[in-house]
Amino acid sequence: MTSTLPPTTESATHHLTPAERAAEIGPRIAAHAARHDAEGSFVSEAYDELRAAGLLRAAVPVELGGDGATVRELAALQRELGHHCGATALASAMHQHVVAFTAWRHRRGLPGAEATLRRVAEEQILLVSTGGGDYIQPQGEAVKVDGGYRVTGRKRFASQSRHGTVISTMACFDDPEQGRRVLNLAVPVAAEGVTVGDNWNTMGMRGTASDDIDLADVFVPDDKVLANRPWGVVDPPLQVISSIAFPIISGAYLGVAEAAYDAAVAAAARRADDVAVQRQVGVMRSRLQVAAWALDGALGLVGDDPTPSRATVLAVMNAKAEIARAGVEVCDLAMEVAGGPAFFRGSVIERAYRDIRAAKFHPFTPEQTLVHLGADALGEPVPIAE
């Protein structure tokens, strides 16, 4: 399928919000979604569209050449992209949240932030995150050497890995005085010792190109160590990262579920007078409404410039869990409502049915979130620092 819409340019859309620009390019992104899903290939045309619309620099502050998009605006952007291609929405969410956190660091005058943001604004480079596979107990070890560290480890679920420029990653470090620590690192994809695999062959989100990254004795200079934090704990800096990242990621999954719902409603038009179908559509609509309220509530707590907060992290994780559970239920029901045609490869519902399953793999999982909420209410230990 070839789109007849004219290419989107920044000059033609400067007055639009990021989500509105995503809606304009959405049909052209959607035109390639099924093929990339079938091939398991990266959604390259979608990224061409994102660059042309200036959306890869949406989170860069205005004074540095971006839109200065808030976390709420970025969640809306990824939600809109999810209506057209789940893989594009999820993969680019990983870039967007790293840029947004870098902007947070820039507002506090932290080293290296401005230079990275300028590169994103001017070159629209891609930032790769390994946080989903690392989080509080990262894979990989760092050894102190003169001028920095030597890092070795394998990183999984690294979306757009071979297409990125810089990896935002983590490694464990055994400090002789402080004990087990986690180092947050910035590593060029082209650095010596970095190898990107070719092993992303999954049930869903197949166009994200989330291939493994192997780090083999990679030298990371001291000035590229962005944080040194406790092992096994969501400490204050990671609380901020989580508060920024997971609403943006959750927006992508909510968009996927909404796309399945829209396709199911369209397919159900011929049986609109069937009470059973009416109820199924009602359940889907109800679940999506509550999930959207959950995301809005979490975004309200996060605000435009989040500060470390255990309560906010728990709220964000709760919203993410609600979207994951609702999304799976909605996509299941969408397939039932649409019937046999939805069972065929190439169907929007069939792809959403598979893509939405990935929502449960991000930390914390929905079940872990319930445990942490209960433990917090009962005054028991939770891996989120006070």
Instruction: Examine the fold and report which residue of 104, 125, 146 is the final residue of a domain before the chain moves on.
Output: 125
The CATH number given to whatever domain includes residue 363 is: 1.20.140.10
* Residue that is written with structure tokens 């969501």 in the block: 234
Find the domain containing 172 and state its range: 129-230
d(CA 76, CA 104): 19
Query: Do 346 and 273 have their domain in common?
Result: yes
Instruction: Examine the fold and report which residue of 181, 213, 230 is the final residue of a domain before the chain moves on.
Output: 230
pLDDT of residue 7: 52
CA 318 to chain centre: 16
CA 117 to chain centre: 18
d(CA 132, CA 359): 11
d(CA 261, CA 30): 16
Query: Do 172 and 289 have their domain in common?
Result: no
Confirm whether 316 is domain-assigned.
Answer: yes
Query: Do 121 and 137 have their domain in common?
Result: no
* Total structural domains within the chain: 3
Residue 297: its H or E element: helix 275-302
Query: Do 372 and 257 have their domain in common?
Result: yes
pLDDT of residue 4: 39
Query: Do 109 and 195 have their domain in common?
Result: no
d(CA 183, CA 168): 11
Query: Do 27 and 85 have their domain in common?
Result: yes
The CATH number given to whatever domain includes residue 204 is: 2.40.110.10
Instruction: Examine the fold and report which residue of 65, 95, 125 is the final residue of a domain before the chain moves on.
Output: 125
What single-letter DSSP state applies at residue 385? Answer: -
How is residue 257 written in tokens?
Answer: 């579920």
Whole-number Cα distances in Å, 209 to 20, 39, 293, 297: 26, 11, 31, 31
Confirm whether 245 is domain-assigned.
Answer: yes
pLDDT digits (tens), the chain, 386 positions: 333 344 555 555 568 999 999 999 999 999 999 999 999 999 999 999 999 999 999 999 999 999 999 999 999 999 999 999 999 999 999 999 999 999 999 999 999 999 999 999 999 999 999 988 899 999 999 999 999 999 999 999 999 999 999 999 999 999 999 999 999 999 999 999 999 999 999 999 999 999 999 999 999 999 999 999 999 999 999 999 999 999 999 999 999 999 999 999 999 999 999 999 999 999 999 999 999 999 999 999 999 999 999 999 999 999 999 999 999 999 999 999 999 999 999 999 999 999 999 999 999 999 999 999 999 999 999 999 98
The CATH number given to whatever domain includes residue 37 is: 1.10.540.10
pLDDT of residue 14: 63
Query: Do 102 and 38 have their domain in common?
Result: yes
pLDDT of residue 386: 84
pLDDT of residue 13: 58
* Per-residue burial over 300-339, b = 16 or more CB atoms within 10 Å of its CB, e = otherwise: ebbeeebebbbebbbbbbbbbbbbbebbbbbbbbbbebbe
Query: Do 136 and 121 have their domain in common?
Result: no
Query: Do 41 and 94 have their domain in common?
Result: yes
Whether 200 contacts 250, CB under 8 Å: no
Confirm whether 4 is domain-assigned.
Answer: no
Confirm whether 12 is domain-assigned.
Answer: no
Confirm whether 259 is domain-assigned.
Answer: yes
Q: Please give the full DSSP string across 327-371, using - where no structure is assigned.
A: HHHHHHHHHHHH-GGGGSTT-HHHHHHHHGGGGGGSSSPHHHHHH
pLDDT of residue 8: 52
Confirm whether 350 is domain-assigned.
Answer: yes
Query: Do 242 and 344 have their domain in common?
Result: yes
How is residue 231 written in tokens?
Answer: 């092992």
Query: Do 172 and 77 have their domain in common?
Result: no
Confirm whether 1 is domain-assigned.
Answer: no
> Which of 253, 157, 198, 214 lies closest to 39, judged by CA?
198
Whole-number Cα distances in Å, 336 to 86, 257, 341, 362: 20, 14, 10, 27
Query: Do 80 and 208 have their domain in common?
Result: no
Q: What is the Cβ-side half-sphere exposure of residue 15, based on CA atoms within 13 angstroms?
A: 1
